[in-house]
Each structure stands twice: as structure tokens, then as C-alpha cells.
């Protein structure tokens, strides 16, 4: 697979860009050949989850059929192979986000678990009565509720940075809201409802000036842009494998070593201990301290394969292709009569939320589905963000590296069809 | 396209665009809310029930074309019915929506009258909840349940 992609790039040698051959990329994803209601599948729900390339599907298959066993346990050959594959995947994830060491790279089940882990360990120790946690109006529920829970328990206050009419964070307000009682800032890198790319590096700088740590929810970022946690200087960074062409049930929590070392465990069990007696248990060092029990071994290994896949495509090529698709989508959507984009941030990615005059998003979703087009409708688990724009729900088309111009055009004809059926 | 036309029949679109009995009922002696957490659709049903008869019914809220039309047509259908009869209507309506899609003609109970236009919903299982939401809220109002009725 990766050989083919390099070849595709090589063929274009001499051209100014290393343009991505989207046809070739699509061949890597078996599901994209599917037909829905007799029409070719146009999958535009990539913000919810991405499809899987053969590389990932095969990694799963190979692991379960050829080298499966539990890890960190046996002295026998199979267990050694499985352990090595699992730890190799950790190393790939480390390199992918630029963490200093594997002790900073924890396998979790996904973004949601990663944020809960930080809230329940770091948060539980550091947040007290009258303290504040700062989130934003555009967070996914998974970066709101875990903080709400710990705030409620501790008598702390959850505060939210407002967003403006375009869907950008109001940075002046953010700066003002960073106070002496702020214990942590938890902010999304990219909004799943609005497509906004937040200035996270600047947010980290502002927070650190006041000694406040920052957690970044990278769920929507990692498939679209190179992330370097050292450059961002964030304290925690979390993402899910399934939004990065990997399997469900696996994700990464990055944390700075000094912080992780000072944090209590999340769950108790096997693998996270050094020694256990009934009187006292001593805990293992990070990352293992935070990985109690048998982990999602196959998921981790296949996430490694997904990371290899994305690395072979290269973020320069991905970004170039996606920004062309995004520009085309912005143009085409604004040409649909009665359509209003919800969120028009100055820096954004190809996640477009919209409403149509006189038409409920649910009805848009049903009619597009009959055209083979998969979009999400609803509040996208970011109810405050959608509420902010005075609508109960939106329809959302979100793009990934395998989407084409033709699919954008199919969306446009689908939306005209929606008007034809309903108006 | 043909099953889309089955779903979005002219009558349904008309009720969706111009819902009947829309607005608050000042004389209501029972009310309940219906909420679909999946899509945020929310309706309040107001009833005036007297001697076991639904004398008046109005509703407020927002939702998709199917939910709005369902609320509108339900309000027309139930006005003047006894509580017992109204409950029975919900049962018949529910059976219409969840029947076997291949058995289109067969299952449309002639007693359903105008409500039979919702038979196309059967082909769209994820939309069944849209059509039943107002009815769940109605049922809750009849029972004077304090809690918001949800489709979950
Ligand atoms: C911005 C954002 N944060 C968090 C999540 C939660 O991710 P997961 O459900 O994989 O834990 C999502 C997924 O929808 C998301 O878009």
C-alpha cells in the first residue's frame, strides 16, 4: 500500500506539488466502492468517524490470525511478539505527535477516556472548592461533562470561553477568564460542529504565563494536520484512533512526563502495579500506571498501521488536497439557495455545518441518504456550540483525504434535490 | 425517489409547512413535553380533557417535517375522542409505522383514515421516532406525567 503511494508521488516528480492521487487513495478503502440505495456511497461523515484502509483491516487480521496472545506476561514466543507489536505501535504514536518519550504516550480507549482520565487523576488532585476549570463554548460533550462531574464533586466552577458569530473563540475573553483560581484549560484543537481551528499554541502560551496547564482535545485535528506536542507545549493532548482511519476503542493520551509522574493511577488492576501485597501496592511508572488490565492490543497495533498509512500519504499532500476540496465545498454550498453555514471561522477545516431555510436537518439527512450521501444531522454532541447559533440542530458534511470534487458536486445536487422534494 | 415521495406525501408536507392547532392552549388542564435527545426535537402538547373526552388539543415546538406533520394531524385526529379511544389510536398508528414494509397496502388499517399517509415512514426505520414523538407526549399528557416523554 505505502509503496503504491510513494510510487504515485514519484510519477509526479518534476511537478511543483506532490499532489495526492485521490483515485489511488480511494482504492485503499474497500467500503468506498459500496453502493447505497443504488447510488455510489458518498461518505461525508468523517468528523464522526473515518473509514478504514486495507492496511488497518489487514493489521487486525494478521494480529488475530498470526501472532495473537496477551502482552507483558508470558516468556513464550507469541507473547513476546505481541508485546513487541504493541510497544512498536506506541512508538509510532509517540513519533506521530512528537512526544519526547514512550512514557508520555498512554493507550486509552479514545478521546473520551483520555479526558476522563485526566479529570479523574490530575483534576481530582488539583481542583478544589472555589477553583475553576476553563473550557470553551465549542467543546464536544466529552470535553465538558468529565469536567462538570469533577467540578460538581469538588465545589469548583466550570467556565466557558465564548465564541463570536463566525465561530471563533473570543481570545480577549479567554485571556480575561484565565484567573488565579483556574486549575486547567481544556480546549478543542478543531471544532467538530463548526470546523474552527483554534489557536491552541497561543492559548497554551497565555495559560502558561499564569502557570495554568492546558489539555487539548485533538479528536478532529489528527487526520488533517501535523501535530507536534512539543511545539504546542501543551500539557495533555488526546485523540481517538477511529477518526484517524484506525479502529474504534483505541486512542492516545499524551501527557508531559513530569505531570504524569506526579499523577495517581486512574484504574487499579493488572499491569499498572509494581508489587502488590494486602498491605500496600506500589504503582508502575507511566505509561503503564495508566493502563490497568489487558488493553485493546489489536486496536493499538492497527492504530499503528493507520499512523503508518497517514505518514506515507504525508500531511503536506493531505493538506493540499483537503484545502482544495474545502474551498470547492465552501463555494458550492454558498450557491445553494436558502442555505446558511453555521460557523465561518477565519481558520477552519472541511467540516461544514449548515441549515436550510424552511427545512429541518433531519429531512435533509434522509433525502441525501437516498442519494447515497452520508451526512450527520443533529447537535453533533456539541449542544452549546449549536445553541449558540440559535438553531436546534444542523446538517454537517465533513471531508477527509479520500473525498473528491465530484463528491462535493454530488452533495450540491443532493441539496437541490432536498429543496425539490420539500419546498 | 418513489419511496421518498411515499414518505414526504403532499399531505405531510402541507401539515409540516402549516401545522394545524399550533400554539399554546390557555384553557389546558393537562400538558406534557416530548423530547428526542438524538435530534433535539421538542414538543409541548396541551390538552383540555373534560369528562374523559379530549375536548381540545394544541401543541408547540419544533421538529422535522415528519414530526410536525404528525403532531398536526394527531391534534386533528384526537380532538373529540374519549381518552380510551385516543390511546387505542396510538396503538393503531404505531402498528402502521412499524409494520412490515413489504406489506404496504395490507397493513394500513382503514380505521386510521387520514393518518394512513404515514405508512411510508415504515421504509425509514430511523424516522419512526419522529412520527411517534408527538404521540408519546400526548400519552404523557393524558397520564399527567410530570417527566418529559422521550423517544428513548
Ligand atoms: C472534538 C471531539 N472531541 C471528542 C470526541 C469524542 O471522541 P470519542 O467518542 O472517540 O471518544 C469527538 C468525537 O465525536 C470529537 O469530535
Residue B110, min C-alpha distance to chain A (Å): 27
State whether A366 and B1 contact (CB < 8 Å).
no
Burial-class residue A121 by CB neighbours within 10 Å (0-12, 13-18, 19+).
Answer: buried
Percent of chain A's residues with pLDDT above 70: 96
Q: A17: CA distance to ligand 1 center in Å?
A: 33
A212 shares its domain with A350 = no
pLDDT of residue A73: 79
Cβ of A120 below 6 Å from ligand 1: no
pLDDT digits (tens, 9 = 90+) for B120-146: 999 899 899 999 999 999 999 998 755
| DSSP-derived secondary structure letter, A198 | P
A51, A94, A367, A404, A421 from A36: Cα distances, Å:
15, 38, 12, 18, 19
Q: How many CB pairs under 8 A join A and B?
A: 52
Give B2-144's CATH code, choosing from 2.60.40.790, 3.40.1350.10, 3.10.129.10, 3.90.1010.10. 3.90.1010.10
Using a CB–CB cutoff of 8 Å, tell me whether B49 touches chain A: no
Does any domain span residue A59?
no
- For the residues A100-112, what does the mean pLDDT come to? 98
Query: On the CB side of A46, how many CA atoms lie within 13 Å of its CA?
Result: 27
State whether B4 and A370 contact (CB < 8 Å).
yes
Residue A6 has pLDDT above 50, yes or no: no
Using a CB–CB cutoff of 8 Å, tell me whether A413 touches chain B: no
Sheet of A236-240: strands edge to edge? A105-108, A251-255, A236-240, A214-217, A182-188, A132-136, A157-161
The region, left, alpha or beta by phi > 0 then psi within -120 to 50, assigned to residue A402 is: alpha
Domain-terminating residue out of A311, A342, A373: A311
Cβ of A51 below 6 Å from ligand 1: no
Instruction: Tell me the pLDDT band of A271, cut-offs 50, 70 and 90.
Output: confident
Instruction: Tell me the pLDDT band of A273, cut-offs 50, 70 and 90.
Output: confident
Q: Is the peptide bond before A287 cis (omega within 30 degrees of 0)?
A: yes
Residue A3 has pLDDT above 50, yes or no: no
**Which has the higher per-residue pLDDT, A272 or A183?**
A183
Cβ of A404 below 6 Å from ligand 1: no
Does any domain span residue A67?
no
Residue A224, min C-alpha distance to chain B (Å): 28
DSSP states of A242-308: GGGTS-SS-EEEEE-HHHHHHSPPSS-SSSSEEEE-SS-EEEPPTTGGG--SS--HHHHHHHHHHHH
A278 shares its domain with A213 = yes
Residue A283: closest CA among A271, A299, A294:
A271
ipTM of this predicted complex?
0.87
Beta bridge partners of B45: B32, B59
Nearest to B13 among A379, A392, A422 (CB): A422
Report how far residue B131's alpha carbon sits from residue A418's, in angstroms, rounded to the nearest whole number: 19
Nearest to B4 among A360, A367, A379 (CB): A367
A56, A72, A76, A86, A377 from A81: Cα distances, Å:
18, 10, 9, 9, 44
Using a CB–CB cutoff of 8 Å, tell me whether A367 touches chain B: yes
The number of distinct structural domains making up chain A is: 2
Instruction: Tell me the pLDDT band of B3, cut-offs 50, 70 and 90.
Output: confident
Using a CB–CB cutoff of 8 Å, tell me whether A377 touches chain B: yes
Record the cell numbers describing residue A254, joined without a space. 499524551
Note if A151 is an active site residue. Answer: no
Report H helices in A67-131: 77-97, 111-118, 124-126
Residue A11 has pLDDT above 70, yes or no: no
pLDDT of residue A270: 86
| B34: three-class secondary structure by DSSP | strand
Report H helices in B37-82: 65-78
Mean pLDDT, all residues of chain A: 94
Mean pLDDT, all residues of chain B: 88
- Domain holding A96, by residue range, is 77-311
Dihedral of CA atoms B47, B63, A379, A33 in degrees, nearest 10, equals: 140
Answer yes or no: are the C-beta atoms of A187 and A136 closer than 8 Å: yes
Lowest mean pLDDT: which of A294-303, A363-372, B35-44? B35-44
- For the residues A330-342, what does the mean pLDDT come to? 97
A222 shares its domain with A108 = yes
- The model's pTM is 0.92
Percent helix / strand / coil, chain A, rounded to 5? 45, 20, 35
Instruction: Tell me the pLDDT band of A16, cut-offs 50, 70 and 90.
Output: very low
Instruction: Tell me the pLDDT band of A290, cut-offs 50, 70 and 90.
Output: very high
State whether B65 and A360 contact (CB < 8 Å).
yes
pLDDT of residue A94: 98
Residue A7 has pLDDT above 60, yes or no: no
A133 shares its domain with A219 = yes
State whether A360 and B17 contact (CB < 8 Å).
no
B130 contacts on A by Cβ (under 8 Å): 362
pLDDT digits (tens, 9 = 90+) for A159-207: 999 999 999 999 999 999 999 999 999 999 999 999 999 999 999 999 9
List all residues of chain B from 113 to 132 with a beta carbon under 8 Å from chain A.
Answer: 124, 126-127, 130
Name A335's Cβ contacts closer than 8 Å, sequence gap at least 6.
A412
Query: On the CB side of A395, how many CA atoms lie within 13 Å of its CA?
Result: 28
Give the angle subtended at the CA of B11 by the CAs of B5 and B12, to the nearest 5°: 70
* Closest residue on chain B to A362 (Cα): B64
Q: A192: CA distance to ligand 1 center in Å?
A: 8
A321 shares its domain with A299 = no
pLDDT of residue B105: 54
For chain B, the first-to-last Cα distance in angstroms comes to: 29
pLDDT digits (tens, 9 = 90+) for B47-81: 999 999 999 999 999 899 999 999 999 999 999 99
**Which has the higher per-residue pLDDT, A280 or A11?**
A280
CATH assignment at residue A41: 3.90.1150.10
Amino acid at each position: 500500500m505505502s509503496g503504491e503511494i510513494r510510487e504515485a508521488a514519484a510519477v509526479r516528480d518534476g511537478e511543483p506539488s506532490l499532489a495526492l492521487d485521490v483515485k489511488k487513495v480511494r482504492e485503499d478503502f474497500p467500503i468506498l466502492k459500496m453502493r447505497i440505495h443504488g447510488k455510489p456511497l458518498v461518505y461525508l461523515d468523517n468528523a464522526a468517524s473515518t473509514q478504514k484502509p486495507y492496511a488497518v483491516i489487514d493489521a487486525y487480521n494478521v494480529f488475530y490470525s498470526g501472532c495473537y496472545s496477551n502482552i507483558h506476561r508470558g516468556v513464550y514466543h507469541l507473547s513476546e511478539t505481541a508485546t513487541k507489536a504493541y510497544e512498536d505501535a506506541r512508538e509510532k504514536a509517540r513519533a506521530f505527535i512528537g512526544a519526547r518519550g514512550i512514557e508520555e504516550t498512554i493507550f486509552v480507549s479514545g478521546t473520551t477516556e483520555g479526558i476522563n482520565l485526566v479529570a479523574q487523576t490530575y483534576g481530582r488532585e488539583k481542583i478544589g472548592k472555589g477553583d475553576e476549570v476553563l473550557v470553551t463554548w465549542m467543546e464536544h460533550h466529552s470535553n465538558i461533562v468529565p469536567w462538570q462531574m469533577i467540578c460538581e464533586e469538588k465545589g469548583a466552577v466550570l467556565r466557558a470561553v465564548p465564541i463570536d458569530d463566525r465561530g471563533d473563540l473570543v481570545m480577549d475573553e479567554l485571556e480575561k477568564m484565565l484567573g488565579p483560581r483556574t486549575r486547567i484549560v481544556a480546549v478543542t484543537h478543531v471544532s467538530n460542529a463548526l470546523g474552527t481551528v483554534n489557536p491552541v499554541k497561543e492559548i497554551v502560551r497565555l495559560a502558561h504565563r499564569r502557570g495554568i496547564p492546558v489539555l487539548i482535545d485533538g479528536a478532529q485535528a489528527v487526520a488533517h494536520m501535523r501535530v507536534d506536542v512539543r511545539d504546542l507545549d501543551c500539557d495533555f493532548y488526546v485523540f481517538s484512533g477511529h477518526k484517524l482511519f484506525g479502529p474504534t476503542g483505541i486512542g492516545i493520551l499524551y501527557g508531559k512526563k513530569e505531570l504524569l509522574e506526579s499523577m495517581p493511577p486512574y484504574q487499579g488492576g493488572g499491569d499498572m502495579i509494581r508489587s502488590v501485597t494486602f498491605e500496600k501496592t506500589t504503582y508502575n511508572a507511566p505509561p503503564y500506571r495508566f493502563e490497568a488490565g489487558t488493553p485493546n492490543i489489536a486496536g493499538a497495533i492497527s492504530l499503528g498501521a493507520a499512523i503508518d498509512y497517514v505518514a506515507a500519504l504525508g500531511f503536506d499532500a493531505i493538506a493540499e488536497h483537503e484545502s482544495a476540496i474545502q474551498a470547492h465545498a465552501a463555494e458550492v454550498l454558498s450557491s445553494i439557495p436558502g442555505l446558511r453555514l453555521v460557523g465561518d471561522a477565519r481558520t477552519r477545516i472541511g467540516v461544514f455545518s449548515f441549515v436550510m431555510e424552511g427545512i429541518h436537518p433531519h429531512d435533509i439527512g434522509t433525502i441525501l441518504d437516498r442519494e447515497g450521501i452520508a451526512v450527520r444531522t443533529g447537535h453533533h454532541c456539541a449542544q452549546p456550540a449549536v445553541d449558540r447559533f440559535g438553531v436546534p440542530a444542523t446538517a454537517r458534511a465533513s471531508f477527509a483525504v479520500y473525498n473528491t470534487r465530484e463528491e462535493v458536486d454530488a452533495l450540491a445536487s443532493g441539496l437541490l434535490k432536498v429543496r425539490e422534494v420539500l419546498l | 425517489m418513489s419511496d421518498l415521495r411515499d414518505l414526504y406525501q403532499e399531505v405531510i408536507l402541507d401539515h409540516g409547512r402549516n401545522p394545524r392547532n399550533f400554539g399554546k392552549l390557555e384553557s389546558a388542564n393537562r400538558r406534557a413535553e416530548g423530547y428526542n435527545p438524538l435530534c433535539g426535537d421538542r414538543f409541548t402538547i396541551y390538552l383540555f380533557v373534560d369528562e374523559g373526552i379530549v375536548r381540545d388539543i394544541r401543541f408547540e415546538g419544533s421538529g422535522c417535517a415528519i414530526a410536525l406533520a404528525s403532531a398536526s394531524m394527531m391534534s386533528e385526529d384526537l380532538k373529540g375522542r374519549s381518552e380510551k379511544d385516543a390511546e387505542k389510536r396510538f396503538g393503531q398508528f404505531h402498528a402502521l409505522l412499524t409494520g412490515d414494509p413489504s406489506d404496504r397496502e395490507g397493513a394500513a388499517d382503514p380505521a386510521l383514515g387520514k393518518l394512513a399517509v404515514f405508512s411510508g415512514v415504515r421504509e425509514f426505520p430511523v424516522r419512526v421516532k419522529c412520527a411517534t414523538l408527538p404521540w408519546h407526549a400526548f400519552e404523557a399528557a393524558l397520564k399527567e406525567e410530570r417527566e418529559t416523554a422521550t423517544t428513548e
